[in-house]
Amino acid sequence: MTISEILLEAEFKTPVVRVQKTVTKHLNKGSVEGMIVVMKSGATAEEISAMALRVESLGLKAHIIKGTERTVIAAVGEKRETTKEALAAGAGVAEILPILAPYKVASKEVKPEPTIITAGSLVVGGNAVGMIGGPCSVESEEQLMEAARAVKAAGGTGLRGGAFKPRTSPYSFQGMKEEGLKILANAREETGLAVVTEVLATEDVDLVASYADVLQIGARNMQNYRLLEAVGNTECAVMLKRGASATMDEFLLAAEYIMNEGNARVMLCERGIRTFESHTRFTLPLASVTYLKDKTHLPIVIDPSHGTGHAYLVPDMAVAAVAIGADALIIEMHPRPEEAMSDGYQSLTPEQFQDTMDRCRTIANAIGKQM
Amino acid sequence: MTISEILLEAEFKTPVVRVQKTVTKHLNKGSVEGMIVVMKSGATAEEISAMALRVESLGLKAHIIKGTERTVIAAVGEKRETTKEALAAGAGVAEILPILAPYKVASKEVKPEPTIITAGSLVVGGNAVGMIGGPCSVESEEQLMEAARAVKAAGGTGLRGGAFKPRTSPYSFQGMKEEGLKILANAREETGLAVVTEVLATEDVDLVASYADVLQIGARNMQNYRLLEAVGNTECAVMLKRGASATMDEFLLAAEYIMNEGNARVMLCERGIRTFESHTRFTLPLASVTYLKDKTHLPIVIDPSHGTGHAYLVPDMAVAAVAIGADALIIEMHPRPEEAMSDGYQSLTPEQFQDTMDRCRTIANAIGKQM
Amino acid sequence: MTISEILLEAEFKTPVVRVQKTVTKHLNKGSVEGMIVVMKSGATAEEISAMALRVESLGLKAHIIKGTERTVIAAVGEKRETTKEALAAGAGVAEILPILAPYKVASKEVKPEPTIITAGSLVVGGNAVGMIGGPCSVESEEQLMEAARAVKAAGGTGLRGGAFKPRTSPYSFQGMKEEGLKILANAREETGLAVVTEVLATEDVDLVASYADVLQIGARNMQNYRLLEAVGNTECAVMLKRGASATMDEFLLAAEYIMNEGNARVMLCERGIRTFESHTRFTLPLASVTYLKDKTHLPIVIDPSHGTGHAYLVPDMAVAAVAIGADALIIEMHPRPEEAMSDGYQSLTPEQFQDTMDRCRTIANAIGKQM
Amino acid sequence: MTISEILLEAEFKTPVVRVQKTVTKHLNKGSVEGMIVVMKSGATAEEISAMALRVESLGLKAHIIKGTERTVIAAVGEKRETTKEALAAGAGVAEILPILAPYKVASKEVKPEPTIITAGSLVVGGNAVGMIGGPCSVESEEQLMEAARAVKAAGGTGLRGGAFKPRTSPYSFQGMKEEGLKILANAREETGLAVVTEVLATEDVDLVASYADVLQIGARNMQNYRLLEAVGNTECAVMLKRGASATMDEFLLAAEYIMNEGNARVMLCERGIRTFESHTRFTLPLASVTYLKDKTHLPIVIDPSHGTGHAYLVPDMAVAAVAIGADALIIEMHPRPEEAMSDGYQSLTPEQFQDTMDRCRTIANAIGKQM
């Protein structure tokens, strides 16, 4: 596939495309550099692809990003004296700007317009608020189908459910694995809901990606860099959960790991941080939404279930998350929370989920969004 | 004043009245007990006052709480075998229930109906969302009047401004003291806004209370118990700010210190906790609103200015706070934030404050509240 | 008393003396400045006192600090263009250096030699490791005397015991107050141990100071600035406990509040910070000792009792504290911990206290210190 | 290999041996159970192996643990009414006790005697204090050999050095990979030091294990369960680092994941937790040593380099760690810290390392240990 073809396809699929994997990772400390090559508004596809090749020929990685008003090429790689000049000489170049943030392709400097990610029926970003519901774990065909129908009936757009479960104890239920994935796929077939499910290990990425619409990277794996690279090499959208004690820079650099492999369809999920507070399982800082929207073009998902750890706190936090501008919510719901094999205490019933959806929709509408 | 007179007045002024200060604080460890004496729905004022006297005669403190449907007397004091029987024998008693929470008068067990506090033009609790705006410190007559007019114009109901300032460094500006209080009073006279201002020390309580509508206890003084007792002995409403590392029980027990002295007009202000996050000054956990409303009848105020520490994060967090059900907001606003003597980086301009008010009002209306 | 007299006395009593209280606290933001006036090695007492007067005449506060090799005068006050020149012109001046830290008199820049504080039999700082033991609260003459004798027998040098107790709940035992202070004084008379006891409120400072050798400011009051100023105006040594979520700058600036009033006999007590850890009451960061000794000349005390919250963790942490160079330890010990009215679960028995002392002494001796 | 043979070998190699991998992980919530089958003191090898087979025949996993005074078999698996009876009927059984902790094989209930792990020249646990030194990353043959010689000269017993580096940014130096491992092996050949190096991914485990004496699991991978299982299936000793916000139960359950696969040679490394403190990179809670020794038989390593993040704080914390009873230290040292490709600011120079060793040895000797 030529760069131009990639470029053309990129317009319809994903706004960031990595052209080639040529850049070594054996860089010296502090020697990395990011630059934004801003193309003129009338630049042709040929000029853009020629520019991308020029970037790669200088030993840098080229990420072509097509915004609504301008196309830019993010060039990231080893720092050299002559790079800027060599790039500025290309045809169709308007200007060359440095990327100041430690993360490059994830930075809003590179792409001021918010990114919208579509994965099956789920749209995250833009004017719509996505709602992903479902149980912590897939436990059986019956349990999951019941949950999926309740999500659909309430107006949800995504279905969550863990088939591979990361559990604190080796003796806890570890998930139904591929059997669970098949059940999720069946539920998608019936309800049309997009499937969001976690992948735990590089060796499972292909398998899970063959069933999922969105690959979830859990909080414990936020800095499992090999896994990030592995999902960065799929075509699948990714939901990256913030580690319980990750800083914002660490979070965005984890997203950069995925994007650096060529997969730009990353949504960031704030799910709460570990603090001294014990009346909630984690502390959910909603200010993260505003902070992240100031720094990155990636869409933001809020998880009020893990973020609070108690079902009675979930609906109110969901409502507040919509008010502050979250692009989607992911909420645990179980047909019978008291029988759940994991996380029952933080799962809503189908009725509570429906009611939460209704309350969230009221807020979304009040601020000019759809849900 | 007789108990009956206090009772009658209580209906109009404040829902919790302490009758007498007879209970020693020299209690043994673990020996305290709280009970709710629920009066029959037709109980007369005489029966109620007789019951309060009976409580006090047993060496317990009596707090009469008049709800919309029932009157109860919270009886708190040293645990004894015979107390429950002795109370149950009183005329007009429907039942005697234990208070399970460590805090007693602040507990929702004692008063399921939310408390509404009115302090001048400011109403906190119930269907209205209070909006308190103004500078961190009173710096001059001009500065404060300009701020006050902007708050009023935007539709705010309370005016904040520190005259006594607790500062991390002994060399920082410590406030204009009584001169500042006079300026605040002048602003109230012109705008009608209720004055909310901090008191730092027991020796200043009478002075500050003579000017303020609401006495603020700052986060650093949340466990300055003598100060809590001192404001508990005034007629003034109190805004108690949560300490930066206080647990919820510590927070509610600090309120209990104030209420135990007879002042039930306490509003609780969540202003953020100290965590590892460094992109915000503090981490503002909005789930506190839902948690607290589950445990106490006292109204909840949110301070997004200290809770985030950056002006650009304040409006969004204010909006989310209204969505989750906060009873009031307290927001720092300065005519010229860049010239502020303290906290300029987290102060809104008058225009931003107006815009925030408008956005909050949209949310408030969407959920059936006024602002 | 003349400056020279103060100066002479200072050599024997305390290394930092404030001469006069002339500096207004109504300073503008950021305008404070600290300078170190280094006197020549042969400077006479007259030259030093003349220099101090010159500092004060410029509207600055003068703190005379007599080190082993040089005398310096810390000059703190409002920033002005001409100050440095005016000071440099004084007789006996070697050089003028800026104080870069936000705290001034507490900074090691002003006084590189460690400060040694002697309060009765207790010596904190230098080559000796102080050991302060005793119960959380004074509960009775018998209880305290028993504890005091055990401290003495084990080789302790200070006796702790709370007469005024800050308690989370208004219904908990609040201390024996003056009766408790008298018991402490009796114990000192019998055993010779220095009395360390907490003061909670400005109105009690004179009373407590009349009985105590060391006034303790508790963690909850670390930023109760009026209280800091009040103890800063006594002759009594002060043990300032770090607030549970105070930063190091906040901690040192709290010490500065006390020293700025003229009392330089401040020891800093690390007693643990609030973190997500729940298997200990607080998290005790021993690295604070090394950090603080790098920044300040004040001596450092470690409180492993509050710092861990469990008796079984106290001895090991005490030993580690001695190894890292703490100048003193303060440890809760109760004749019968299971009967204690407060903090029994973290109190050692007399036998455990003795054993801990022996283990600490082994370490102290190994690193060339006495205990 | 028969169970008896495994048993015999176990006495010389490792005190805990898993016999067979027969137990499914698809357990229901809460249904796991652990029991300790205590064998009579005179139980024969045949009786023990017969008992292990009986445990496995009941669908439980058997871990044979040979203590100095008794042999026990930890039996872990799905809870059933009849298990205890069926086990009690075996020959040579003294008693059956439940394991109360959530972790089973790691628990001190199962093995009260401390575990000693020998890996090449490194002994961790018991009366010796291990000292592992070396650079953050292997950067070149010269750099590493220089570091290794300095470790050896100072009396260290292990050599650290990362060949696979987990880096926050995808653009940072990711390590020399197998080339780095070869350099480490060369250094071992010359100096005799045991090699401690990190493994990042399941696919690298065999490669790294073929060079390393101790496989390090980094803090970011503490809950990368597949990786834990992978190292659990090697013969290599493992150093498991605590996650920056892991609770103690999570830490011990992560060790349990490794041990559950049959590898009992796990050392636990406390390397600091994330708190609000910003003057240190992490907060290093030394009380973890005492806590862990109360709960587990596994040896404890302290990492003062990551635990503080500043070279000037490392020596003092190392000394305190020895005093509190750490079984080993792991310290970053670089021939020229200012040229290090990673973590230079927290690396000691060879001279500082030597000095730290000397100070630690003094403390170790004072408490009756060797170093």
pLDDT in tens, chain A (371 residues): 344 444 434 443 444 444 433 333 333 445 778 899 999 988 999 999 999 999 999 888 899 988 777 899 999 888 777 888 888 888 899 999 999 999 999 999 999 999 999 999 999 999 999 999 999 999 999 999 999 999 999 999 999 999 999 999 898 889 999 999 999 999 999 999 999 999 999 999 999 999 999 999 999 999 999 999 999 999 999 999 999 999 999 999 999 999 999 999 999 999 999 999 999 999 999 999 999 999 999 999 999 999 999 999 999 999 999 999 999 999 999 999 999 988 889 999 999 999 999 999 999 999 999 99
Residue D97, SS3 per DSSP: strand
> Which residue on chain B is closest to D245 by alpha carbon?
B276
Residue B339 buriedness (CB in 10 A; 0-12 / 13-18 / 19+): exposed
B351 pLDDT more than 60: yes
Least-confidence region, from C28-42, C218-232, D112-126 = C28-42
Smallest Cα distance from A286 to chain B, Å: 7
Per-residue confidence at B59, pLDDT binned at 50, 70, 90? confident
Q: Which chain D residues are Cβ-neighbours of B274 within 8 angstroms?
A: 276
Q: Which chain C residues are Cβ-neighbours of D363 within 8 angstroms?
A: 323, 363, 366-367
pLDDT of residue A30: 52
pLDDT of residue C29: 46
Instruction: Name the residue with higher pLDDT: C83 or D230.
Output: D230
Q: Is residue D91 part of a domain?
A: yes
- Residue A320: which residues within 8 A CB-CB, separation 6 or more? A286, B286, B320, B321, B323, B324
Q: Is residue D185 part of a domain?
A: yes
Smallest Cα distance from C279 to chain A, Å: 12
- Residue C282 shares a structural domain with residue C347: yes
Q: Are A188 and A212 in contact (CB under 8 A)?
A: no
- pTM summary value: 0.91
Nearest to B241 by CA among B207, B208, B288: B288
Range among A74-83, B256-265, C23-32, D11-20 with highest mean pLDDT value: B256-265
Q: Given an 8 Å threshold on Cβ–Cβ distance, is C275 in contact with A276?
A: yes
pLDDT of residue A265: 97
Q: Given an 8 Å threshold on Cβ–Cβ distance, is B223 in contact with C223?
A: no
C26 pLDDT more than 60: no
Please write the tens of the pLDDT for every residue from B137-183.
Answer: 999 999 999 999 999 999 999 999 999 999 998 988 899 999 999 99
Amino acid at B96: I
Q: What is the CATH number of the domain that holds C228?
A: 3.20.20.70
> Which residue on chain C is closest to A244 by alpha carbon?
C276
Question: What is the rounded average pLDDT for all residues in chain D?
Answer: 90
CA torsion through residues B307, B309, B313, B319, sign: positive
B74 pLDDT more than 60: yes
Last residue of a domain, one of C46, C69, C98: C98
> Which residue on chain B is closest to D279 by alpha carbon?
B276
Q: Given an 8 Å threshold on Cβ–Cβ distance, is C256 in contact with B169?
A: yes
Q: Which chain C residues are Cβ-neighbours of B223 within 8 angstroms?
A: 166, 168, 220-221
Q: Tokens representing D298?
A: 């596994």
Q: Is residue A107 part of a domain?
A: no
- Residue D121 shares a structural domain with residue D92: no
- Residue B190: which residues within 8 A CB-CB, separation 6 or more? B145, B148, B149
Least-confidence region, from A5-14, B112-121, C101-110, C277-286 = A5-14
Please write the tens of the pLDDT for every residue from B159-168.
Answer: 999 999 999 9
- Residue B300 shares a structural domain with residue B175: yes
- Residue C176 shares a structural domain with residue C257: yes
HEC-encoded secondary structure of chain B: CCHHHHHHHHHHHCCEEECCCCCCCCCCCCCEEEEEEEECCCCCHHHHHHHHHHHHHCCCEEEEEECCCCEEEEEEEECCCCHHHHHHCCCCEEEEEECCCCCCCCECCCCCCCCCEEECCEEEECCECEEEEECCECCCHHHHHHHHHHHHHHCCCEEECECCCCCCCCCCCCCCCHHHHHHHHHHHHHHCCEEEEECCCHHHHHHHHCCCCEEEECHHHCCCHHHHHHHHCCCCEEEEECCCCCCHHHHHHHHHHHHHCCCCCEEEEECCECCCCCCCCCECCCHHHHHHHHHECCCEEECHHHHHCCHHHHHHHHHHHHHHCCCEEEEEECCCHHHCCCCHHHCECHHHHHHHHHHHHHHHHHCCCEC
Smallest Cα distance from A183 to chain B, Å: 34
Identify the residue among C100, C171, C202 best suited for mutation to test binding to B, counting B beta carbons within 10 A and taking the highest: C171
Please name the member of C171, C221, C226 whose beta carbon is closest to the beta carbon of B76. C171
Q: Given an 8 Å threshold on Cβ–Cβ distance, is A322 in contact with B321?
A: no
- Residue B21 shares a structural domain with residue B167: no
pLDDT of residue C33: 82
Q: Which chain B residues are Cβ-neighbours of D275 within 8 angstroms?
A: 276
Chain D interface, Cβ < 8 Å to B: 274-276, 278
- Residue B322 shares a structural domain with residue B204: yes
Smallest Cα distance from D279 to chain C, Å: 8
- Residue D138 shares a structural domain with residue D242: yes
Q: Is residue C321 part of a domain?
A: yes
**Looking at this predicted complex, what is its ipTM?**
0.90
Q: Tokens representing D274?
A: 């994330």
Q: Are D364 and D326 in contact (CB under 8 A)?
A: no
D244 pLDDT more than 70: yes
pLDDT of residue C65: 87
Mean pLDDT of B31-57: 90
The number of folded domains in chain B is 2
> Which residue on chain B is closest to D275 by alpha carbon?
B276
Last residue of a domain, one of B98, B130, B158: B98
Instruction: Name the residue with higher pLDDT: D85 or B229.
Output: B229
Q: Is residue C112 part of a domain?
A: no
Q: Which chain D residues are Cβ-neighbours of C366 within 8 angstroms?
A: 362-363, 365-366
The number of CA neighbours under 13 Å toward the Cβ of D204 is 18
In chain D, pLDDT over 70 holds for what percent of residues? 92
Instruction: Name the residue with higher pLDDT: B184 or B172.
Output: B184
- Residue B88: which residues within 8 A CB-CB, separation 6 or more? B96
- Residue C25 shares a structural domain with residue C169: no
- Residue C82 shares a structural domain with residue C166: no
Q: Given an 8 Å threshold on Cβ–Cβ distance, is C29 in contact with B250?
A: no
Q: Given an 8 Å threshold on Cβ–Cβ distance, is C32 in contact with B169?
A: yes
Per-residue confidence at B5, pLDDT binned at 50, 70, 90? very low
Instruction: Name the residue with higher pLDDT: B300 or A77.
Output: B300
Give the residues across from C118 on adjacent strands: C123
Q: Are D178 and D164 in contact (CB under 8 A)?
A: no
Q: Given an 8 Å threshold on Cβ–Cβ distance, is A275 in contact with C278?
A: no
Please name the member of D26, D102, D171 whose beta carbon is closest to the beta carbon of A173. D26
CA A244 to chain centre: 17
Per-residue confidence at C68, pLDDT binned at 50, 70, 90? confident
Please name the member of B285, B294, B365 whose beta carbon is closest to the beta carbon of A277. B285
Q: Tokens representing A332?
A: 């645990």
Structural domain boundaries, residue D76: 3-98
Instruction: Name the residue with higher pLDDT: D76 or D364.
Output: D364
Q: Are C41 and C28 in contact (CB under 8 A)?
A: no
Map tokens 């994060």 to a residue.
B313
Smallest Cα distance from B11 to chain C, Å: 26
- Residue D174 shares a structural domain with residue D141: yes
Last residue of a domain, one of C51, C68, C98: C98
- Residue C42 shares a structural domain with residue C185: no
**Chain D contact partners (≥3 CB pairs within 8 A):** A, B, C
pLDDT of residue D12: 37
Q: Tokens representing D5?
A: 């043979």
> Which residue on chain A is closest to B323 by alpha carbon?
A320
Q: Given an 8 Å threshold on Cβ–Cβ distance, is C169 in contact with B223?
A: no
- Residue B255 shares a structural domain with residue B325: yes
Please write the tens of the pLDDT for every residue from B90-119.
Answer: 889 999 999 999 999 999 999 999 999 999
Q: Is residue B282 part of a domain?
A: yes
Mean pLDDT of B201-219: 98
Please write the tens of the pLDDT for every residue from C338-349.
Answer: 999 888 899 999
Q: Given an 8 Å threshold on Cβ–Cβ distance, is A367 in contact with B362?
A: yes
Nearest to C248 by CA among C276, C273, C275, C227: C273
Please name the member of C223, C256, C341 whose beta carbon is closest to the beta carbon of B28. C341
Per-residue confidence at D235, pLDDT binned at 50, 70, 90? very high
Question: What is the rounded average pLDDT for all residues in chain C?
Answer: 90
D14 pLDDT more than 80: no
Q: What is the CATH number of the domain that holds D82?
A: 3.30.70.1140
B25 pLDDT more than 50: no
